[in-house]
């Protein structure tokens, strides 16, 4: 399927690895030029080189913390008028809610709620003017299904979802969509890190813990960043112009609900 976005420009945040990289690759495969972002210089440049060689599109890596004003300015300097924005950022680590002090809570909300809102504020007027824009926020399955220990991440991402629900409807008439993708268990460094930590804490083999976690999913496997990226690319396509203010759950059936 031709997604109709060849020649468009995209900013993909936190895209040196994992789900962000999956989204960047899928967009590049559809002819979208990219500005990638990350804090690990070697990983980011390796990803930029890999995507550029594989697809032939222009790929610009920007080393920056996207949660800072300086980081946002650097990314937007590289792509002042994006047609597509994929919001992604690291989340707070697993932690009992009793251990969260005010500073850590404010940091978590800044990373997973305030930052994507700030970026949308900065790009939305150009999208309105040209009557095309696609914004995708990578949130989490935990917005719908609480995960103990991820309370801060869940709360911040749920706040982002609620905040943008009204915003999405105010710009829909300008051919701009704002949607969220809620990943479940995807085979990323973050998931493998959580598996490793759980295995170490409980004196269990990592492969056993990973297998037990995958067995909880009706699909009986972890998702791949590549298939996640393809869903993101479709939401950014010309065919998805009537889909907005939606939270698309990609979890292999883990969230047990009829609706």
Give tens-digit pLDDT for 211-258. Answer: 999 999 999 999 999 999 999 999 999 999 999 999 999 999 999 999
Per DSSP, 251 falls in state: S
| Confidence (pLDDT) at 189 | 86
- Model confidence over 27-63: pLDDT tens digits? 999 999 999 999 999 999 999 999 999 999 999 999 9
Per-residue pLDDT of 135-156, as tens digits, reads: 999 999 999 998 888 899 999 9
Reading the block at residue 50, the tokens are: 């890999």
Query: What tokens does 234 get?
Result: 């479709």
Beta strands in the chain (DSSP E): 9-12, 33-38, 59-63, 84-87, 133-138, 176-183, 247-250
Please, which pLDDT band fits residue 91 given cuts at 50, 70 and 90? confident
By percentage, how much of the chain surpasses pLDDT 90?
A: 88
Q: Which residues lie below 8 Å from residue 135, measured CB to CB, with a gap of 6+?
A: 84, 85, 86, 87, 120, 123, 176, 177, 178, 179
- Structure pTM? 0.96
**pLDDT over 90 (residue 197):** no
- Say if CB 252 and CB 219 are below 8 A apart: yes
User: Which of 52-61, 70-79, 133-142, 182-191 has the least mean pLDDT?
Assistant: 182-191
Rg of the chain over Cα atoms, rounded to whole angstroms, equals 18
pLDDT band at 92 (very low <50, low <70, confident <90, very high): confident
Residues whose CB is less than 8 angstroms from the CB of residue 178 and which lie 6 or more positions away in sequence, other chains included: 120, 135, 136, 137, 164, 167, 168, 171, 244, 245
């Amino acid at each position: 399927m031709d997604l109709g976005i060849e020649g468009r420009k995209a900013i993909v945040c936190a895209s040196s690895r994992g789900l962000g990289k999956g989204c960047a690759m899928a967009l590049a495969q559809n002819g979208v030029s990219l500005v990638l972002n990350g804090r690990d210089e070697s990983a980011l440049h390796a990803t930029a080189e890999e995507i550029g060689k594989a697809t032939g599109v222009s790929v610009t890596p920007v080393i920056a913390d996207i949660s800072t004003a300086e980081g946002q300015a650097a990314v937007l300097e590289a792509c002042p008028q994006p047609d597509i924005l994929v919001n992604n950022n690291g989340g707070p680590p697993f932690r009992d809610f009793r251990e969260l002090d005010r500073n850590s809570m404010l940091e978590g909300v800044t990373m997973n709620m305030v930052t994507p809102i700030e970026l949308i504020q900065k790009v939305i007027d150009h999208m309105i003017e040209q009557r095309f824009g696609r914004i995708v926020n990578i949130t989490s399955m935990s917005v719908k299904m609480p995960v103990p220990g991820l309370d801060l991440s869940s709360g911040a991402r749920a706040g982002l979802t609620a905040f943008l629900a009204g915003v999405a409807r105010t710009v829909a008439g300008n051919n701009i969509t704002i949607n969220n993708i809620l990943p479940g268990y995807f085979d990323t460094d973050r998931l493998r890190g959580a598996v490793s930590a759980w295995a170490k804490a409980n004196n269990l083999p990592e492969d056993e813990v990973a297998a037990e976690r995958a067995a909880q999913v009706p699909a009986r496997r972890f998702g791949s960043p590549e298939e996640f990226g393809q869903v993101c690319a479709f939401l950014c396509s010309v065919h998805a112009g009537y889909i907005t203010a939606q939270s698309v759950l990609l979890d292999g059936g883990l969230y047990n609900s009829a609706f």
